Amino acid sequence: MSVMDTAKYQFGRFMWPTLFLALGIYLLKIALVPEVVELNNGEPLEVKQSSLFLYGALFFVVGSIIWYLYLFGIIRTIVGYAILGVMVLMSCYLLYHDYMTVDNDVQYIAQYKKIDTDIKARMYDLKAAESAFKEYHKYYTNNIDSLIFFVKNGKKMSVPNIGKLPERRITPEERDYIYHDNRPIDKLMTEQEANVLAHSPNPPADLLKFSRDTLYLPVLDAIFYDKKYVTNRKKLEPSLDFHPDSLKFVPYSALLVKLDTGSVQKGEIKVPTLMIQMKHPMDSLKIYQIGDLNENHLRDNWSR
C-alpha cells in the first residue's frame, strides 16, 4: 500500500471520531458559557443551558475518546461498538430533550413578551377612554360596561384648528359688529373674535377659511380611529387591534381589568382620581397600573 493510500485510510478512520470530539467541545462551550440577552427594560440576562445539555456534550466527548481507544486497539471490538453505540444514543437523546426544553422556554418567553406588549396597549386604550369619559362627564368611571358603552356611543368635543389667526387688530366696524359698543381697540385680534367675524354675512378676506367651531364627534372617530392615536399605538407594537368590547379583559385571558375611582382634596376642590390595573395571566405577581387613587395623575408603573 502506497503512502498516499495509507494516509487516506488513516484519515478516513480518524475523521469521524475527530468530528465527534470537535462537536463535543463546541457543545461544551455552549453549555458552560451562558448567552447574554437583553430584556425589554434594557437589563442583561444570562441564559444558561440545562444540565442535560452539558451531559449530552460530555457524552459526545467521552464517546469520541472511546472511539479513539477502539481505533488504537486498546479496547475490544464488540465492547467498543457497544459502548460507542450507547454513548451516541444517550448523547442524541439528551441533546434532543434539552432542545425541546429550550424550545419550550423560548416559546414561553415569546408568549410572555407578547402578552406584556398587548397588556400595555390595552392599558393605553383604557387610559384614553377614561380621559375622554372624564372630559365629557367631569368624573372617571369604575364601571367597565359604562366605559365601553361610552366608547361605542359617546361624543367627544373637538375644536378643529382651521385657518391662521391674522396678526392684526380688529377694525372699528368689526368691533361694532362683535361687541356693539365703542370699547378701545388696543390688542391683536383673538381667536374668538376671528371666529365670529369668519361667520359673519361679509367675512374679511383674511378670515374666509378660518374656523374654531366646537364639534362633538363620536369617541371612536375622535380618538381610537384618529390617525395620530393609531400611529402612537402602533409604536407599542401590539399584536391585537383595538376593539371596544375587549377593553374589559386582560389580553389572552378571561381575567377582568380592575377600575377604581376616588378623589383627592386640592385646596377647596375635590379632584377625581383613577386607578387601572391588570395582572399578567402568566405571572400573578406582575401587576400593571395606570393612575393612583391618592394622586391626581395617570402615569403608568412600567415606564418609571
Q: Does residue 121 fall inside a structural domain?
A: yes
Lowest mean pLDDT among 7-11, 13-17, 36-40, 277-281: 36-40
The answer on 269 and 149 residing in a single domain is yes
Lowest mean pLDDT among 36-50, 148-162, 237-251, 282-296: 36-50
More confident residue, 91 or 224: 224
Q: Does residue 22 fall inside a structural domain?
A: yes
Q: Which residues contact 97 (CB under 8 A, 6 or more apart)?
A: 52
Lowest mean pLDDT among 8-12, 183-187, 226-230: 8-12
Q: Does residue 275 fall inside a structural domain?
A: yes
The answer on 138 and 22 residing in a single domain is no
What per-residue confidence (pLDDT) applies to 231? Answer: 93
Lowest mean pLDDT among 50-64, 133-147, 210-224, 247-261: 50-64
Q: Does residue 180 fall inside a structural domain?
A: no
Reading the block at residue 86, the C-alpha cell is 450507547
More confident residue, 140 or 285: 140
More confident residue, 209 or 76: 209
Q: Tell which residue, 303, 300, 301, has the closest CA to residue 124.
A: 300
More confident residue, 25 or 66: 25
The answer on 150 and 118 residing in a single domain is yes
CB atoms within 10 A of CB 303: 7
Where does residue 91 rank: exposed (0-12), middle (13-18), buried (19+ CB within 10 A)? Answer: buried
Mean pLDDT of 72-98: 63
**Helices 144-153, 77-137: inter-axial angle, 10-degree rounding:** 70
What is the Cα–Cα distance from 172 to 254, expressed in whole angstroms? 66
The answer on 239 and 93 residing in a single domain is no
Q: Tell which residue, 148, 127, 150, has the closest CA to residue 137.
A: 150
The answer on 121 and 267 residing in a single domain is yes
Is residue 162's pLDDT more than 80? yes
The answer on 153 and 78 residing in a single domain is no
Is residue 27's pLDDT more than 60? yes
The answer on 119 and 70 residing in a single domain is no
The answer on 125 and 92 residing in a single domain is no
Q: Which domain holds residue 71?
A: 3-113
Lowest mean pLDDT among 82-96, 100-114, 126-140, 170-184: 82-96
Angle 267-258-264 (CA atoms, 0-180°, nearest 5)? 5
The answer on 154 and 18 residing in a single domain is no
Three-state DSSP class for residue 265: strand
**Last residue of a domain, which of 51, 84, 113?**
113
What per-residue confidence (pLDDT) applies to 229? Answer: 93
How many domains does the chain divide into? 2
The answer on 285 and 153 residing in a single domain is yes
